[in-house]
Chain A
Amino acid sequence: MEVVEYFDQFKGTETYIASEELKHAVNVAVALGRPLLLRGEPGTGKTLLAENLARALEMPLVRWHVKSTTKARDGLYIYDTVARLYDSRFGGDVNDIAKYIKLGPLGEALSAPSRVVLLIDEIDKADIEFPNDLLHELDAMRFKIDETGREVVAKERPVVVITSNNEKELPDAFLRRCVFHYIQFPDRELMAEIVKVHHPDITDRVLDNALEMFFSLRSTPKLRKKPSTSELIDWILALKKAGIDLAKVGHGIPFLGTLLKTEADVELVQKRAKA
């Protein structure tokens, strides 16, 4: 029953505004001790959530950024054979294999002395079997280092946060074990709150104007990449630095390049503005 203690622990932080649903999903995952799988448009703060969760729960954060070449075993440990070979050449003592075993992020999280938050970022970047290869370790929270026979067992189940950009389908067996949340793009109200956190001195009038332009830009049909939260925040910063008052800008959007990242999109928006 001690798990209940953790429930409702995450309420967002000063710099991270989470929707009610997201907070609930996080708390369920923490209480059940299951990995939390987060999906959503890029720029909705999936990765940031893990950082802020670690801060709110006052636990260290271990990050694992998955790449297309990442293998599941890399997360547990890497046996540096080359270093051992080189050492043997100079007659060093190479009998202790443990010296050449380096723990990966998952291995580190499992061997940590206290409970940690483990972020597995962009799991869909790796091979399609990658999540399946992790099933056992995430379930049992233990693994064995074959070379030394040492078994690493987690003292306390890490809080696991997994993010995915929907590039690939994830296997069913993996999904069954996760708690799932889809981060929706913030609506205007939530977005206003988020902006205020990053620009506390912003006036309501400026914020209104900026949001108006931002959301109308997002609703432009056929945009290849819609601008996201982080881009909005950067854009407002740029406006502030340049001292531009949006209310006085006639046509067009200043610093369009901070919001749109492809040439085709910029062209499209400029064409529509003229029409």
Chain B
Amino acid sequence: MLIDFLYELRAKKVPVSTHEWLALMEAMALGLHESSLDGFYHLCRTICVKDIALYDAYDEAFLAYFKDVHVSSLELTKQLQEWMLDPKMLEQLTAEQREMLKDLDLEGLRKKFEERLKQQKERHDGGNRWIGTGGTSPFGTNGRNPTGMRVGGGGGRSAMAVAGERLFKEYRKDIVLDVRQIDVALRNLRRLGREGAVEELDMDETIEQTGRNAGELEVVFRPPRRNRVKVLLLMDVGGSMDPHAELVSRMFTAASRSGRFAKFRSYYFHNCVYNSVYEDAAFRKPVQVADLLATSDRDEKLVVLGDALMHPAELLDPGGSMYLYSQNRASGIEWLRRLGHHFRSSAWLNPEPERFWSGTTIEVIASAIPMWPLTLDGLNHAVKYLVRGGEKPRVGDPSKWVKGISGY
């Protein structure tokens, strides 16, 4: 039965709820699927799938479940006929129609269709006998007959063909969208202040002023509260970050929502920050870090996303950049320290699991910029630190294995 299709969908990670499934059943009972597989394809997608990113998974599930039906689509139609014979529907039909329903098996229907096609000489709209449009005859298109046959028109291509094309593949994200979770964590990253146009009634002040005015009404307005936090986001992309690309994009999606922060800027870097960061992930539009620091308020919150994993020389030596054409005079760690010093509060979020941190460049970088793992917990701690300050997390002791690190 169809219930298996529900589980097929859920197995393909399309989050269909009971709520939606019941709505689909209700819709089918009303005949909204037009007794056809095509109709069902669109109906089910309209009701159960709410994100274009999931359309491809839906197509997959549809193909998997209905592939046998494709060969002989009659089986489903039969199932649907059983639906149609539901007594609730019958109540509305006249005795005549009921009689008709009984003898409408598909074989007979097809035969009748052929017969009638022979007799019919012209276009026919409305009515209940001829092949045409908008009538209650069992044959035709855009009409209403519970067990009729659809003849051309309408949908155009069959659902199986549409599903088979998998048109929505490129929209697929294949991630359990946790943007909302990050969203909720980021909501705490705020410092509210009253700024901008005065548009909110200040009740307390109005009463106060009216009292001073000896009862003469004095209405006082004030600006609504807005988030004043400014955020600078730096993201490591490419190379060892590839496995974490999705997590980073989720974080970016949540952080960049319009109106979340008073000011939000984001830049990309590869491996480690040297002289410049980039406006685009393809590293075509460089921005000098020195310029960036000059135009950044010290109150801005610096958030870095990266795995902080590299060869020690890339971090510690001048000229350690992987790119020959951008030789850096100051070492990577020097640049990171400059960033860490410039901003009053900064946080590094690392998607690498904490157990792999020890004995790597991660420890060195964590000594320059306070670091937390990019988990919900780590994110919450980082946000708390950015807003209220407090203890920096202690991450290992790099001086044990890198000379010249102690003292930072």
Complex Cα distance, B183 from A21, in Å, reads: 33
Complex Cα distance, B15 from A26, in Å, reads: 22
Complex Cα distance, B217 from A207, in Å, reads: 66
Whether A28 touches B46, Cβ cut-off 8 Å, given contacts A82-B219, A89-B217, is: yes
Flag whether A177 is at the interface (Cβ < 8 A): yes
- A19's nearest neighbour on chain B, judged by CB, is B156
Shortest Cβ distance from residue A218 to the other chain B in the assembled complex, whole angstroms? 15
The one of B27, B88, B206 that contacts A32, using a Cβ cutoff of 8 Å = B27
Whether A37 touches B30, Cβ cut-off 8 Å, given contacts A85-B217, A171-B180, is: no
Per the 8 Å Cβ criterion, residues 1-39 of A in contact with B are 1, 3-4, 7-8, 20-21, 24-25, 27-29, 31-32, 34, 37, 39
The one of A1, A37, A81 that contacts B201, using a Cβ cutoff of 8 Å = A81
CB distance A182 to B52 under 8 Å? yes
CB distance B32 to A180 under 8 Å? no
Flag whether A169 is at the interface (Cβ < 8 A): yes
Complex Cα distance, B27 from A181, in Å, reads: 16
Flag whether A146 is at the interface (Cβ < 8 A): no
**A residues less than 8 Å from B219 (CB atoms):** 82, 85-86
**B residues less than 8 Å from A31 (CB atoms):** 27, 30, 32
Per the 8 Å Cβ criterion, residues 223-238 of B in contact with A are 224
Flag whether A68 is at the interface (Cβ < 8 A): yes
Shortest Cβ distance from residue A184 to the other chain B in the assembled complex, whole angstroms? 8
Shortest Cβ distance from residue B132 to the other chain A in the assembled complex, whole angstroms? 15
Flag whether A65 is at the interface (Cβ < 8 A): no
The one of A3, A86, A182 that contacts B30, using a Cβ cutoff of 8 Å = A3
Flag whether B179 is at the interface (Cβ < 8 A): yes
Shortest Cβ distance from residue A10 to the other chain B in the assembled complex, whole angstroms? 12
- A126's nearest neighbour on chain B, judged by CB, is B259
Complex Cα distance, B54 from A39, in Å, reads: 14
Q: Which segment, of B17-25, B268-276, B350-358, faces chain A?
A: B17-25
Whether A169 touches B179, Cβ cut-off 8 Å, given contacts A31-B27, A39-B52, is: yes
Complex Cα distance, B168 from A182, in Å, reads: 11
**A residues less than 8 Å from B142 (CB atoms):** 8
CB-CB nearest 5 A-B residue pairs: A175-B50, A180-B50, A182-B52, A89-B217, A25-B46
| Interface of B toward A, CB cutoff 8 Å | 15, 17, 19-20, 23, 26-27, 30-32, 39, 42-43, 46-47, 49-52, 55, 88, 92, 142, 144, 154-156, 177, 179-180, 183, 201, 206, 216-217, 219, 224, 253, 257-259
In the assembled complex, 29 residue pairs joining A and B whose CB atoms fall closer than 8 Å, in A order, are: A1-B30, A1-B92, A4-B31, A8-B144, A24-B43, A24-B46, A25-B42, A25-B46, A28-B32, A28-B43, A28-B46, A32-B23, A32-B47, A68-B258, A68-B259, A69-B224, A81-B201, A85-B206, A128-B183, A128-B257, A167-B257, A167-B258, A169-B180, A169-B183, A172-B15, A175-B51, A176-B20, A177-B19, A180-B46
Given contacts A8-B142, A176-B19, 16 further A-B contacts (CB under 8 A): A1-B30, A25-B42, A28-B32, A32-B27, A32-B30, A69-B224, A85-B206, A88-B217, A89-B217, A169-B177, A169-B183, A171-B180, A176-B50, A178-B50, A179-B47, A181-B46
